[in-house]
Structure 1
Amino acid sequence: MDTAENVLGEERKGLSRTPSLLEGLVILAIILTGLVVGQKFIVPLIFSVFIWSLINVLKTKLSLLSIAGKRLPEPVCLVLSILLLLAANLSIYVIVSQQFPALAEAMPRYQEKLNALIIRISQVVPGSEVVDLNELLGRINLWEFATKVGTQVRSLASGLFLMLIYVAFLLAEQRYFRDKLGLLFSGKVERPRILLDRIVRRLNMYLYIKTVISLLTAVLSYAVMAWWGLDFAPFWGLLVFLLNFIPTVGSILAVIFPSLLSFIQYDSPTPILAVVGLLAAIQIIIGNFIEPAMTGRTLNMSPFGLIVSLTFWGMLWGIVGMFLAVPITVCIAIVFSNFDHLKWVSVIIAKDSTLLTDVRKPV
């Protein structure tokens, strides 16, 4: 422990010079420009790192299993992990390819029901006659929304092949990473190794727990929607799974989207109340009890830091940025906490001092 502390302390001495305000602004401008201009290159690369990380987590979990009293060999665990993720990607592809065309075909019918619903509301709610319904209906175009979603899905699918290539090379070269760090830092490998271990450990734990939690939420939500006969329940279940990777906002949207369809689809209030109530209950119970029990202080992000990171990355990269906001911000906090002139960023992001002190503990 003392050795790791001393290495980190000694190697920080040469990095304590505080850059001038002009230097800081220039560096910030360069970074922001690079993030915006290089989005098409950076985003697939980050997703590839996350997939690679998740494969290693699954490999570690599978290595703990034993058959006939014997642990599975590491190569077998690696192959099984890759096959599991490929099966998950295939399932997503099948759901999207089968459900989305049918959903797009049903959009005109839903548009008519939505129009009729708005007219009924305008007749019931006092004072709503002042609303220009023609203008309102012209703005609510479900077909246009479906087209935009389809474009995003096709864009994501087009980058999947490149991400798989990145992942393949990461898996092939991961055994050489420590040697490369030694060459990169002229043999002084302890400090970058410790930092890298912190980042990898927290990132792996976040991805594993968030994937399990999102899968549990999606399965329960799908069961509710399928039981009450909500149209396109597999598609909405997939959407719930993906949206749950976005903290707070994603959970709200995961309830709103299927609930809106229930208002359009059902004529009776009973299934509407059941779908809305049960979906909200699933999110509340899992988000407030099960997930905190599993995560503990894995991330230790303050609510303010969480909102700021969601806003920043969402403005920078849109919905994709909101998916990546938490893991990227945690990595930034870990790295910045080891530089005196950048430590204040980690202090703002962290919920308490646990993040800062934990970073400096040996793995």
Structure 2
Amino acid sequence: MNTFKKLSAPRSLGSTLLSIVIIVFIAYILEDVVVPFLFAALLSFLLVPITQYLENHRIPRVIAILISIVLIIAIIGGVMYAAYTQVIKLQDLFPQIEKRFNEWISALASLLSNFDIDKQQLIAEGQKHISDAVKSGSQFLGATIGGTSNFLMSIALLPLYIFLMLMYRDFLKTFVFKWLKDTSKHKIVTTINKVKSVVRGYITGLVLVILIIGTLNSTALYFIGIDHALFFGFFAAFLAIIPYIGVALGSALPILVALITQDSYLAAVMVAASFAVIQFLEGNFITPYVVGNQVSINALIAITALLLFGKLWGIGGMILALPMTAILKVIFDANPRTEAWGFLLGDAENEDVKHVTKYFRFKEFFETVKKRI
């Protein structure tokens, strides 16, 4: 018997690896279908309490689902429209960019004039490249807006997916019971409830983090005197969806704008310093206690998942990386055979942060705010 187990283990491992490769390949090929479907599943988990509340007040399920979908579309549409109007206004910065780069080239030409370099030719060549760069920037901005529109068109079926998932949620639960008939219904229901809790806690916590970080960023940029402070502040906050590197990437743009639009380099230094402080607060205090223990994924797994999902599905994959990994952790924890993998994905509680923050009662404050959202 032991010999048989030794011989069958490599076959089992090989079958598992082959299954993973096939699943990843199919997910890559069917990106346009899979990614909207997963986003719809996450939003459906978020909308279930709303539809249940409406149904409990004797509103038919179809009407309750339609009201929930219209509500979420209105919120997302409002945010997208506000972002669109701000992006359009960024075109006003291109003349300032061209002017500042011309000044830098003139200063560089004066500095290099002592090295027997034709100053006028250097300025002419520099201005030519700057004009080309500004034109390319305008074209890129237009392409970005067009690309965003194409992306929105590719997920046009999202409301339909959400509607059907909410409509047939009882049917899908019955399917899971039949599929896992050897598992107790209590355990299945407990696992499903944990998945719902993870998804809702992550999404609501993430929205609250974006609001807090965006407000802090915008306030700092406003007092420093950076144009379009609201856009740059919330753009950096939105990139917080991408863990660990999102805030750093979001801070690069306002620093560059400060260098271009301000007469002193002090403004860029102040932007960098303020964003560094906000990033420290976000990483050590705000996110851990707003999102809480709902997504308890260790840093190594989070970064790995971020890179893998990003390579697989691009920006959509990077957004899905953490919630999907957290859902996998819940599923792994529920099965004794995969419990070790769930442990590998998890994160030990940071006692140092817990010791410091207990004096500031951050957790109680954020939990109160989350319950009122």
Range into which the TM-score falls when normalised by the shorter chain: 0.7 to 0.9
Bigger proportion of residues as helix = 2
1:171 aligns to 2:166 (yes or no) = yes
Question: What is the CA distance between 1:334 and its match in structure 2?
Answer: 2.1
Calculate the TM-score normalised by the size of structure 1: 0.74
Residues 66-77 of structure 1: pairs in structure 2 closer than 5 A: none
Instruction: Determine which of 88, 94, 103 is the counterpart of 2:90.
Output: 103
Going from structure 1 to structure 2, the CA distance change for 1:160 and 1:20 (only over 3 Å counts) comes to: closer
Going from structure 1 to structure 2, the CA distance change for 1:20 and 1:270 (only over 3 Å counts) comes to: same
Question: What is the CA distance between 1:147 and its match in structure 2?
Answer: 4.4
Mapped to 1, the partners of 2:276 and 2:87 lie a distance apart of 24
Letter in 1 for 2:78: S
Going from structure 1 to structure 2, the CA distance change for 1:238 and 1:17 (only over 3 Å counts) comes to: same
Question: What is the CA distance between 1:43 and its match in structure 2?
Answer: 0.8
Letter in 2 for 1:27: S
1:282 aligns to 2:267 (yes or no) = no
Aligned to 2:341: 345
Aligned to 1:33: 25
Aligned 8 A contact 1:224 1:278 in 2: yes
Going from structure 1 to structure 2, the CA distance change for 1:345 and 1:182 (only over 3 Å counts) comes to: closer
Question: What is the CA distance between 1:18 and its match in structure 2?
Answer: 7.9
Residues 124-163 of structure 1: pairs in structure 2 closer than 5 A: 142-143=137-138, 145-163=140-158
Aligned 8 A contact 2:237 2:247 in 1: no
Going from structure 1 to structure 2, the CA distance change for 1:33 and 1:226 (only over 3 Å counts) comes to: same
- The higher radius of gyration belongs to 2
Letter in 1 for 2:137: L
Question: What is the CA distance between 1:39 and its match in structure 2?
Answer: 0.8
Going from structure 1 to structure 2, the CA distance change for 1:106 and 1:294 (only over 3 Å counts) comes to: closer
Mapped to 2, the partners of 1:347 and 1:46 lie a distance apart of 24
Mapped to 1, the partners of 2:288 and 2:139 lie a distance apart of 38
Percent identity between matched residues is 20
CA RMSD of aligned residues (A): 3.9
Aligned to 2:261: 265
What SS does the aligned partner of 2:294 have? coil
For structure 2, list consecutive stretches of 5 or more residues without a partner in the other structure. 1-7, 113-121, 351-373
Calculate the TM-score normalised by the size of structure 2: 0.72
Letter in 2 for 1:210: L
Aligned 8 A contact 2:97 2:260 in 1: yes
Mapped to 2, the partners of 1:179 and 1:263 lie a distance apart of 59
For structure 1, list consecutive stretches of 5 or more residues without a partner in the other structure. 1-15, 64-71, 126-131, 355-363
Instruction: Determine which of 188, 195, 198 is the counterpart of 1:199.
Output: 195
Aligned 8 A contact 2:209 2:287 in 1: yes
Aligned 8 A contact 2:240 2:247 in 1: yes
Going from structure 1 to structure 2, the CA distance change for 1:41 and 1:83 (only over 3 Å counts) comes to: closer
Aligned 8 A contact 1:45 1:166 in 2: yes
Aligned to 1:48: 40
* Higher RCO structure, 1 or 2 (CA under 8 Å, sep 6+): 1
Residues 84-99 of structure 1: pairs in structure 2 closer than 5 A: 85-99=72-86
Aligned to 1:324: 320
Mapped to 2, the partners of 1:343 and 1:149 lie a distance apart of 43
Going from structure 1 to structure 2, the CA distance change for 1:42 and 1:107 (only over 3 Å counts) comes to: farther
Aligned 8 A contact 1:333 1:345 in 2: yes
Going from structure 1 to structure 2, the CA distance change for 1:33 and 1:119 (only over 3 Å counts) comes to: farther
Going from structure 1 to structure 2, the CA distance change for 1:274 and 1:202 (only over 3 Å counts) comes to: same
Aligned to 1:129: none
Aligned 8 A contact 1:95 1:234 in 2: no
Deviates more, 1:156-165 or 1:256-265: 156-165
State the aligned residue count. Answer: 326
What SS does the aligned partner of 2:295 have? coil
Mapped to 1, the partners of 2:13 and 2:287 lie a distance apart of 41
